[in-house]
Amino acid sequence: MTIDWQKEVEARKDDLLQDLIDLLKVKSEREDDKVTPDAPFGPGPRDALLHMLAYGERDGFVVKNVDNYAGHIEFGEGDETLGIFGHMDVVPAGDGWDTNPYEPVIKDNKIYARGSSDDKGPSMAAYYGMKIIKELDLPLSKKIRFVVGSDEESGWGDMDYYFEHEEKPDFGFSPDAEFPIINGEKGNVSVAVHLPVSNEGAYVLTSFTAGLRANMVPGTAKAVVTVADAAKAEELATAFAAFLEAHPVTGSSSIDGKTVTFDLVGKGAHGASPQIGINAATFLGLFLNDFAFAGGAKNFLAAVATYIHEDVYGEKLHTAYEDEKMGKLTMNAGLFDFDATKEQAFINLNFRYPQGTSLEKIEAGLQETLGQFEPTFSAEPHHMQPHYVPQDDPLVQTLLAVYEDHTGEKGFEQIIGGGTYGRLLKRGVAYGAMFPGYTDTMHQANEFMDLDDLFRAAVIYADAIYRLAK
């Protein structure tokens, strides 16, 4: 049987786009202060999950909601289950948008909204691939289950809960990365560095804050500093203006008597690729470290400026490691909090590490370099080990063949620092929806997905799902 997948997607492209627009309007950021028994990660993730599951009910699939943590959309029969994993939660929109991040805008054949490329757009493309197979009533030998998550951008508590109640699919993929395929993912762990708070110098650090999530490069940072007199405040503001001129950042300062407030703007990026961002927090720390702070404030700033600033590969922190297949360890300093009214300051360091090193080695490096500042360390409980599915696995071979058939480009394996739901399965990978050469705007302002790529991905997903489950 020959199926014109392109034609089938073309016939449904308007419906696909409208469903995506409606889904993108749901502000599905995790909000811990709004958690309730029926909204385990806040109302937004719950509402987006219910919205997606409602599409499955509308289209006649078997749908199950697992207590608003996660759910699935399923059809087909067989002893094996093909799993497709998407997520409806998004990282905070943050600043710097040209449009409302939750009012989708189509411009230059791109759809702009938070979640358009991570992961509502790719999820919708994969869902429509599955929907096409059902509507064509194609013969299957396996179940197809689209698992819908709501906490991928935070602690994966959705999947922990879901798999306490549901069996894992036998194999599958997540449409949450790049083509041709992602069959390897680095380990992923965040380490919190806690430092004592005190101010003993001529300059008082009242506060220093930056970051929205551990897996985002902070695009903005703010600090409030108090000095001896108004003249010192003017000197500090003048020095900051000169610093901005000399570095690849922007910002401003304001003076209120003896108090100076600094706002610095860098460039946000996905925490898995900190090298493409400009960490606003570490640049602000670099500036302030040149002044006469003392005590805990000095330790905080010195740690940031000396060991964390522009150390995306962990070389200064003595955590660096490189594996021939998986590449280099990366480090993203994603969260910063110094508050003079608290007992401890906080810096979150997110490590994406290859096979061959470990959390224990990372912590040893941190102790060696940051130990002088009297810190305590705590690793976040959600720790993902390195994951790899061999290139000769039939799953990988099939997905690469589909990609090659529809693009005319040679498929190849890839290993990334990002963590996707693909790693939930021993035989699980990530597959699209970004094509080679695509501009990655995940976790950044003005996130978008190219509409041609959206529909092209749906074609590939439809064919891939059918080949895997027929």
* Residue 213: Cβ-neighbour burial (10 angstroms; 0-12, 13-18, 19+): buried
Q: How far is CA 104 from CA 111, 212, 315, in A?
A: 6, 22, 41
Query: Cis peptide leading into 119, omega within 30 of 0?
Result: yes
Q: Which amino acid is at 20?
A: L
* 343 vs 376: CA distance, rounded Å: 13
CB 447 within 8 A of CB 114: yes
* 149 vs 175: CA distance, rounded Å: 12
Q: Give the side-chain half-sphere CA count within 13 A for 361.
A: 14
* 104 vs 114: CA distance, rounded Å: 8
Q: What angle do CA 388, 410, 276 make, to 5 degrees?
A: 60
Q: How far is CA 419 from CA 49, 275, 349, 443, in A?
A: 20, 17, 16, 13
For residue 66, what is the enclosing H or E element?
Answer: strand 62-66
Annotated active-site residue 152? The verdict is yes
* 97 vs 113: CA distance, rounded Å: 9
- Residues 219-256, buried b or exposed e (16+ Cβ, 10 A)? bbbbbbbbbeeeebbeebbeebeebbeeeebebebeee
Which tokens in the block code for residue 176?
Answer: 């949450």
Which of these is catalytic: 152, 185, 450, 453? 152
* 144 vs 119: CA distance, rounded Å: 19
CB 352 within 8 A of CB 329: yes
Annotated active-site residue 404? The verdict is no
Place of tokens 């409980």: 381
Which tokens in the block code for residue 319?
Answer: 């955590």
Which of these is catalytic: 8, 29, 89, 119? 89
CB 158 within 8 A of CB 152: yes
Longest dimension (CA), the chain: 82
CB 72 within 8 A of CB 63: yes
Q: Which amino acid is at 14?
A: D
Which tokens in the block code for residue 381?
Answer: 């409980």
Q: Which residues are catalytic?
A: 89, 152
